[in-house]
Amino acid sequence: MTSGYERSDRLDDLLAWAAELAVKTMIFDVEPLVASWNSGPAALDRGMARILGQVRMIPSVRAVVFATNSARRPSAVPPGGRIQVRYLASAAKPLRIAPYRDLPRPGAVVGDQLPTDGVLAYRLGYTFLHYLPHSISVPAGPRIMHHWGQILRPLLFRRPPARPGGHRSDPALPAGRQRQSLSQRPGAGGRARTCIPSTAASPRS
């Protein structure tokens, strides 16, 4: 069984897809989306606050998890208001899924690596929002993992990848309808809706 998949080099695109899917949980890989590999705690703190500020514009989201396989930690987990916020260091992605079992569904994983973030999304039954930055320096290990991870994509995810960069039409939507960034979406930043938790199949173990 395959899971949903979208990709872009822009975080705004990925968040817009999450909003259209009305996800209740978002799991964010830390490097490089939240903070770069060689950055310190201050950069991690700023990155988490930046991501949360954008996620608050998605009314359906009830939980955000920042998960990294490294041992790095922020100085503090920022308050999320209506959103439950967790930080997982040494997360052992994609092997460990127990920390995510109690989170509301549906959900999405946002990250740059198919073998870790993508497989985690598959095991949880979440959509994988694949972040593909082009203008950053990537260490050798993640770069190699990215290349062999491309072999996994057609085995795990049913949708063909969209070309990264800019706003694109989506073949799954009615003709002529375009994805919008969160800043362009009607009611963005407005009052949150009350969401009733949906029943869903248990994560793959």
Sheet holding 127-131, edge to edge: 5-8, 127-131, 107-111, 25-29, 63-67, 84-88
pLDDT at residue 86, as a whole number: 97
What domains appear along the chain, each with residue ranges and CATH number?
Answer: 5-157 (3.40.50)
Name the amino acid, one letter, at 200: A
Task: Render pLDDT for 18-56 as a digit per residue (tens, 0 to 9).
Answer: 999 999 999 999 999 999 888 999 999 999 999 999 999
3-state secondary structure of 108: strand
What is the C-alpha to C-alpha distance for residues 126 and 88, in angstroms, rounded to an integer?
A: 18
Band of pLDDT at residue 134, cut at 50, 70 and 90: confident
With tokens 């999405």, the residue in question is: 108
- pTM, full prediction: 0.73
Residues 108/121, Cβ–Cβ less than 8 Å: yes
